[in-house]
Amino acid sequence: MAILLKHARVVDPRNGRDGEFDVRIDNGVVAAVGKGLPVDGATVIALPAGTVITPGLIDMHVHLREPGQEHKETIATGAAAAVAGGFTAVACMPNTDPVNDHAAITDLIKLKAREAGLARVYPIGAVSRGSKGEQLTEIAELRQAGCVALSDDGRPVATSLLMRRALEYAGMFGMPIIDHCEDPSLKGDGVAHEGYHAARLGLRGIPGEAEELWIERDITLAGMTHGIFHVAHMSTAGSLRAVRNGKSRGIRVTTEVAPHHFVLTDEALEGYDTNVKMNPPLRSDIDRDALIAGLADGSIDVIATDHAPHHRDEKHVEFDRAPFGITGLETCVSLTFDRLVHRGVIPLRRMVELLSVNPSAILRVPGGSLSEGVPADITILAPDLAVTVDVAAMKSRSKNTPFGGWTLRGGIVGTIVGGELKYANSLAPGGDALAAGFAR
Amino acid sequence: MSTTNEPATLRGKHLLGIADLTPEEIVLILDTADAMKEVGSRAIKKVPALRGRTVVNLFFEPSTRTRTSFEIAEKRLSADTLNLAVASSSVVKGESLADTVHNIEAMSPDMIVMRHASSGACEFLSRICKSRIVNAGDGMHEHPTQALLDAYTIRSHKGRIAGLKVAILGDLLHSRVLRSNLLLLRKLGAEVWVCGPPTLMPPGIERYGVHPTTSVDDAVRDADVVMMLRIQLERMQGLFFPSLREYFSVFGMTPERVALATPDAIIMHPGPMNRGVEIDSAVADAPNSVILEQVSNGVAVRMAVLYLLAGGSEA
């Protein structure tokens, strides 16, 4: 069955396209993109004016919790949250229980993702066995099983020697090492950004320098080894300086920022809402403004959510006892539209680079373009849709977001993976037409 | 001492921190404590103000002074009181704070006085409870009744708070007493100096409108009030200072250092004291030390808080 999407604005930076084009999907692939394409037996779906078609969005930093913590999220519920948030693919961190440090666990994740049949799921393997920071995992085997990168996320890569060896060894496969950059002794038992607000509220601080020092270490080691280093969830102005400096020296370093770090600051701690507790913590307004500048000027490569579902019972406790992390898959696109695109920080083309082109390039996975012949992973966006964040309606099994009730401008119309419609938003103009077209 | 626009009662349902009080409300509490102090001097130290009300003292951290002080205050107001030292019961069995408190609430108390090791625990409680909450110390956040009794003690000696120079020295970073005192003293117009090693200085403390310094002499010089904060012995493990001995030599309050203050300066400490660490015994036991008076005043101030929160009726 062929589908012809008409009248939408196609934003496909890799092919230099930004304008009104028709997109033909046939046999699960992008069959043609052009002006005035013939119907030629296809089902025509006319999208409302203003609708935007982009290469499928990819969230390269999520926690799907399965195996081991299915009360927080499963691969199926996480994948459902992904497509509802406009993501055709996600890369999931290995800090499950057990840790994804063995091909058998990678196989399980791939199997569960296939069964769910929603978003593509790219497993990230552990750098060290059990993420304990001692011995390397069997990296070649993990790669063969389908891991696209390596990380001990949740913890930093424990020693300089381990990071050095991982960069060297994984470099031969072109796999990036994604490090959760944080000096453990400077972090201590901190729970919030070290600054006025944490001090006033009596919360133990995590200084920004804990992250910056570790990034400097990893950049130095990446330079030494010619390995590929990706900074997970970067949060401070000093970290951005370090990354810019590393890039200017030709070191292979890329970085991602989570929406909560470009939207909120540590001022949100007032009131002790455990849904503003995450690691790295919400930083100062200086840091937030620096990240926004880095997103605008290209020195930040990726927006990734660090989607970290936790059960309500786990978050319904004293602030310092709550686990770190918030969900992100279903709010990312609206926050990015509202805070970055509509405020003139970045154009739509750059949004697509941050959420699709660059993550696919860093992870070396398909996607990131609407070239003819590629699998039809497509996100359809409504830039002017008024979205009220409805926590109860979210697909994620967990509801730990600080953005509930927020009104944002910009949302999802639908998500297509491999030529199949995986999500249609009936609240968006064109959502029902999309669903009807694919149902025919 | 009362101002003309003094309110008749408190606006808030709870006492979570000094941050929520207006200067007028603080003065109301202090004035009410004057009346309560008189009750404590009677032969029969009891008034019926809280008769028929149930107050639960929920202490998740060990406390002798504050818990006893609240209990005596409640009894003098004729409340029915119940003490729960939870560290030894439910929490050990893995029950959450929310569940513990919901169980207590199922028995319809009117007020819960809580001490907890987590900053913000009282605010959390106030969101999930129907009872009035009184913060008896939450983590490193606030200890409002301590600051109120400190202010009461200062006012009873100096006749005012505004314009006084108050020096606070010790472990500033981890102290809820400090945070409540800074808020209160600034709201009532005192000039506040804070002094301690840089390792124990809270980030952004200058935003309270106080003078941070590492010089004991600068802090104490011409001070009307010299207040020490407890140095917890385990802080050495956090590498905050090299030894208790060195702490005392650099920051300990000695008679020589006190001599820099005004001749009639008062010496305060919220307790428990570490003699020979933050304070020399010669200072702690000197005639101008009001440390035990702080304890006595604690009962009157807590009576005032409980009375006003209960609606200030049936006096």
Residues pairing with A372 in the sheet: none
Q: How confident is the model at residue A379, as a pLDDT?
A: 98
For B254-276, letters b (16+ CB in 10 Å) and e give: eeebbebbeeebbbbbbbebbee
Contacts of A266 in chain B (CB under 8 A): none
Same-domain pairing of B300 and B267? no
Q: Does a structural domain hold residue A420?
A: yes
User: Taking CB atoms and an 8 Å limit, are A272 and B124 in contact across chains?
Assistant: yes
Q: How confident is the model at residue B92, as a pLDDT?
A: 58
Residue numbers of the domain that contains A24: 2-53+374-439
Residue type, B179: R
Give the pLDDT mean for A182-200: 97
Q: Does a structural domain hold residue B6?
A: no
Sign for the CA dihedral angle at B131, B134, B140, B144 comes to: positive
Q: Does a structural domain hold residue A369?
A: no
Interatomic CA distance for residues B147 and B70, integer angstroms: 15
Same-domain pairing of B187 and B59? no
Residue of A nearest to B128 (CA): A316
Task: Give the minimum alpha-carbon distance from B245 to chain A in angstroms, rounded to a whole number.
Answer: 25
The one catalytic residue among A101, A218, A306, A377: A306
User: Taking CB atoms and an 8 Å limit, are A317 and B179 in contact across chains?
Assistant: no
Q: What is the DSSP string of B206-222?
A: GGGS-EEES-HHHHHTT
Same-domain pairing of B99 and B157? no
Same-domain pairing of A173 and A223? yes
Residue numbers of the domain that contains B189: 144-290
Give the pLDDT mean for B197-205: 96
Q: Does a structural domain hold residue A97?
A: yes
Same-domain pairing of A37 and A60? no
Helix residue spans in A266-409 (DSSP H): 285-297, 312-315, 332-336, 348-352, 358-363
pLDDT digits 0-9 by tens, B213-254: 999 999 999 999 999 999 987 777 788 999 999 999 999 999
Same-domain pairing of B265 and B171? yes
Q: Which helix (H) or strand (E) holds A84?
A: helix A75-84
Domain's final residue, options A307, A341, A363:
A363
CB atoms within 10 A of CB A317: 17
Closest C-alpha among A72, A125, A65 to residue A97 = A65
Contacts of A281 in chain B (CB under 8 A): none
Contacts of A271 in chain B (CB under 8 A): 123
- The residues on B that touch A, with CB distances below 8 Å, are 96-98, 116, 118-121, 123-124, 138-142, 173, 176, 179, 202-205, 207, 238
User: Taking CB atoms and an 8 Å limit, are B204 and A199 in contact across chains?
Assistant: yes
Give the pLDDT mean for A168-186: 97
Q: Does a structural domain hold residue A73?
A: yes
Active site residue A12: no
User: Taking CB atoms and an 8 Å limit, are A198 and B124 in contact across chains?
Assistant: no
User: Taking CB atoms and an 8 Å limit, are A202 and B124 in contact across chains?
Assistant: no
Q: What is the DSSP string of B11-48?
A: SSSSB--GGG--HHHHHHHHHHHHHHHHHHTSSS----
Q: Which of A188, A196, A202 sits opposite B119 (nearest CB)?
A: A202
Residue of B nearest to A196 (CA): B204
The count of structural domains within chain B is 2
Burial of A361 (0-12, 13-18, 19+ CB in 10 A): middle
Same-domain pairing of A356 and A392? no
The count of structural domains within chain A is 2
CATH number of residue B211's parent domain:
3.40.50.1370
Q: How confident is the model at residue B312, as a pLDDT?
A: 61
Contacts of B202 in chain A (CB under 8 A): 199-200
Same-domain pairing of B119 and B152? no
Q: Does a structural domain hold residue B167?
A: yes
Q: Is the peptide bond before B270 cis (omega within 30 degrees of 0)?
A: no
Domain's final residue, options A363, A396, A420:
A363
Which two structure tokens, joined as six digits, stand for A93?
A: 């961190």
Please state the pTM of the whole predicted model: 0.94
Same-domain pairing of A17 and A74? no
Same-domain pairing of A423 and A281? no
Domain's final residue, options A334, A363, A392:
A363
Same-domain pairing of A48 and A100? no
Q: Does a structural domain hold residue A64?
A: yes
Task: Give the minimum alpha-carbon distance from A271 to chain B in angstroms, rounded to a whole number.
Answer: 7
In the block, residue with structure tokens 């091909």: A103
CATH number of residue A41's parent domain:
2.30.40.10
- All residues at 6 or more sequence positions from A342 whose CB lies less than 8 Å from its CB, including other chains: A383, A409, A410
pLDDT digits 0-9 by tens, B139-149: 999 999 999 99
Closest C-alpha among B83, B73, B29 to residue B50 = B73
ipTM: 0.91
